């Protein structure tokens, strides 16, 4: 057996107890360690000796899994963890001292290699030590609230236009590459009310869980009461405030209006609205209200919800609307004369992409008209993520790409960042992937000009009045 040892001391301008509690939940490593691409706590209840974490790290050209568990702890002064993999093991020791303003962290890592990997220890040593230094530097920036540098560089703009490099960014590899320049999110959201649609599975569930851990008062809009209750029971132990459930079928505008009526009657400010609910329908289906289901669910529903809740968003200003779109949007332009996919053979992927294009167009319209009210509006797409919706609706795509798909947590990262980050207070109307703004159009004929966007707004307003009795 051969080993690599590294130790370093850093000073962090945060209270000792806060730093200890943050480090004790080792799943937070996903936020602060650039080499960690997945981190999940697998044992329920309070964190204690024996608590287990599944960790995946990117090392050189490889992605490796580690089974971590806490082997010793003495609050708030020391933590020891051990990580086990097939050919090596890691011991992390953290000793802390400080007060209510600052913390001194003494960090030590020992990596032990089994044969035949032990022969490569001298080769790996420089990279292990470099990764550890980078992780500690990122931890300090995260805990001290240093903002993520989000401006798009020249390569990002060029990659979008070259298509193939841009598409590769949608994969888990794109996430891992982008993550290297981020700082983790440690904003205190206890005074924020966040409404999320489609919050009980996939990317919405991952975003809800992460925002709840940051202290947000969550309002989860769901169609299935039992599923929603089960999800709340799952995440409630991590949330300072128990999430609230609101039931609504968002393919039906009457349900959207009933939801809005309830929220408006409660007269509670909303600080963040996340329009995430959606599905891809491979067969053309008409709702009970006579609307094509993709259009109703993916475009008209978030339009009505956002329009009607704008007074609550204004009350919560500075507030944000986050519209979850899709990379598939890039393939389609808006067809304002065929919003319900009636004039050609139905294609579920195309209907989905056009509805998401319309939602991005509304993002730009709302960003302009609501700016004076302190409401910032953004669209994002999560990349290609491994969710039940993808495996069910796009089975061939899923089988072909599943090795490259992101986890729901990776797909949700930009939603959480857009909801929490202070560094984007001054911007609005952008389209984001991995905390970076991107172009909304690549192919000729897919970009919507302002006239088309205004006409779309008028058309959606007509639908709203027709189905809502003028609401």
pLDDT in tens, 282-322: 999 999 999 999 999 999 999 999 999 999 999 999 999 99
Res. 60: pLDDT tops 80: no
Res. 156: pLDDT tops 90: no
Cα–Cα distance, 66 to 78 (Å, whole number): 21
Res. 398: pLDDT tops 90: no
Q: What's residue 342's pLDDT?
A: 93
Q: CA nearest 440: which of 295, 332, 299, 304?
A: 332
Res. 164: pLDDT tops 70: no
Q: CA nearest 405: which of 389, 417, 418?
A: 389
248 touches 316 (CB < 8 A): no
Q: How far is CA 166 from CA 147, 157, 326, 448, in A?
A: 25, 9, 13, 20
For Cα atoms 296, 299, 301, give the angle at the middle one, nearest 5 degrees: 60
Q: What's residue 471's pLDDT?
A: 52
397 touches 418 (CB < 8 A): no
Q: How far is CA 307 from CA 164, 227, 272, 288, 369, in A?
A: 36, 28, 14, 22, 11
pLDDT digits (tens, 9 = 90+) for 251-273: 999 999 999 999 999 999 999 99
Q: What's residue 160's pLDDT?
A: 73
Rg (CA), the chain: 23
Res. 470: pLDDT tops 60: no
pLDDT digits (tens, 9 = 90+) for 221-233: 999 999 999 999 9
Q: What's residue 169's pLDDT?
A: 87
Average pLDDT on 61-71 reads 92
Res. 43: pLDDT tops 60: yes
Q: Which two tokens stand for residue 148?
A: 């993520």
Q: Which two tokens stand for residue 4?
A: 């690599």
Average pLDDT on 71-89 reads 96
Count CB neighbours of 57 within 10 A.
22
Average pLDDT on 365-378 reads 98
CATH 3.30.70.141 fits 154-468, yes or no: no
**Catalytic site positions:** 352
Q: What's residue 59's pLDDT?
A: 83
Average pLDDT on 199-225 reads 97
Q: What is the dihedral of CA 293, 295, 301, 307, to 10 degrees?
A: -160
Q: Which residues contact 353 (CB under 8 A, 6 or more apart)?
A: 326, 328, 329, 330, 331, 332
210 touches 204 (CB < 8 A): no
Cα–Cα distance, 367 to 365 (Å, whole number): 5
Domain boundaries, given as residue ranges, for the chain: 2-143, 154-468
Res. 1: pLDDT tops 80: no
**Signed CA dihedral, 351, 353, 359, 362: sign only:** negative
179 touches 57 (CB < 8 A): no
Q: What's residue 165's pLDDT?
A: 67
Res. 403: pLDDT tops 90: no
Q: CA nearest 195: which of 94, 264, 286?
A: 264
Res. 194: pLDDT tops 80: yes
Average pLDDT on 428-447 reads 93
Q: Which residues contact 167 (CB under 8 A, 6 or more apart)?
A: 327
Average pLDDT on 189-213 reads 97
Confidence of residue 424 (pLDDT cuts 50, 70, 90): very high
Q: CA nearest 335: which of 251, 441, 455?
A: 455
Average pLDDT, the chain: 93
Cα–Cα distance, 197 to 213 (Å, whole number): 18
Q: Which of 19-33, 115-129, 432-446 has the lowest mean pLDDT?
A: 115-129
pLDDT digits (tens, 9 = 90+) for 131-150: 999 999 999 999 999 999 88
Q: CA nearest 95: which of 114, 112, 75?
A: 75
Res. 119: pLDDT tops 90: no
Q: Which two tokens stand for residue 43?
A: 């044992």
Q: What's residue 26's pLDDT?
A: 97
Res. 217: pLDDT tops 70: yes
The hierarchical CATH code for the domain 2-143 is 3.30.530.20
pTM of the model: 0.93
Report CA 271 to chain centroid distance, whole Å.
Answer: 17
Of residues 154 and 386, more confidently modeled: 386
Looking only at Cα atoms, what is the longest distance across the chain?
75
């Amino acid at each position: 057996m051969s080993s690599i040892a590294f130790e370093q001391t850093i000073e962090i301008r945060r209270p000792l107890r806060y730093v200890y509690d943050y480090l004790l939940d080792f799943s937070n490593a996903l936020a602060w360690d650039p080499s960690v691409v997945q981190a999940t706590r697998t044992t329920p209840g309070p964190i204690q000796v024996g608590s287990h974490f599944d960790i995946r790290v990117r090392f050189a050209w490889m992605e490796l899994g580690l089974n971590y568990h806490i082997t010793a702890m003495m609050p708030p002064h020391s933590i020891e963890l051990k990580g086990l993999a097939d050919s090596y093991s890691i011991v992390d020791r953290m000793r802390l001292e400080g007060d209510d303003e600052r913390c001194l962290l003494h960090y030590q890592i020992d990596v032990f290699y089994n044969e035949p990997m032990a022969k490569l220890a001298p080769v790996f040593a420089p990279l292990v030590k470099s990764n550890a230094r980078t992780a500690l530097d990122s931890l300090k920036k995260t805990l001290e609230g240093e903002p993520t540098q989000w401006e798009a560089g020249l390569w990002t703009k060029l990659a979008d236009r070259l298509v193939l490099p841009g598409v590769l960014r949608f994969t888990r590899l794109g996430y891992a590459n982008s993550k290297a320049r981020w700082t983790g999110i440690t904003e205190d959201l206890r005074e924020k009310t966040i409404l999320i649609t489609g919050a009980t599975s996939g990317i919405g569930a991952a975003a809800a869980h992460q925002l709840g851990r940051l202290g947000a008062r969550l309002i989860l809009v769901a169609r299935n009461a039992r599923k929603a209750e089960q999800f709340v029971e799952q995440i409630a132990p991590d949330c300072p405030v128990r999430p609230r459930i609101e039931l609504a079928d968002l393919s039906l505008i009457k349900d959207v209006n009933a939801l809005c009526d309830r929220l408006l009657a409660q007269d509670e400010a909303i600080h963040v609205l996340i329009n995430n609910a959606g599905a891809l329908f491979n067969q053309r289906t008409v709702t009970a209200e006579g609307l094509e289901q993709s259009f109703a669910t993916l475009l008209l529903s978030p339009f009505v919800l956002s329009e009607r809740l704008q007074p609550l968003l204004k009350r919560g200003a500075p507030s944000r609307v986050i519209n979850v779109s899709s990379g598939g949007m890039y393939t389609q332009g808006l067809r304002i004369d065929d919003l319900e996919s009636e004039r050609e053979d139905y294609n579920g992927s195309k209907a989905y992409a056009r509805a998401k294009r319309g939602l991005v167009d509304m993002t730009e319209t709302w960003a302009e008209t609501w700016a004076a009210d302190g409401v910032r509006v953004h669209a994002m797409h999560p990349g290609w993520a491994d969710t039940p919706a993808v495996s069910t609706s796009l089975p061939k795509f899923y089988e072909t790409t599943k090795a490259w798909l992101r986890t729901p947590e990776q797909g949700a990262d930009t939603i959480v960042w857009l909801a929490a980050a202070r560094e984007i207070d001054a911007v609005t109307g952008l389209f984001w992937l991995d905390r970076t703004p991107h172009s909304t159009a690549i192919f000729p004929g897919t970009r919507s000009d302002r006239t088309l966007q205004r006409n779309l707004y008028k058309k959606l307003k007509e639908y709203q009045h027709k189905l809502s009795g003028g609401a």
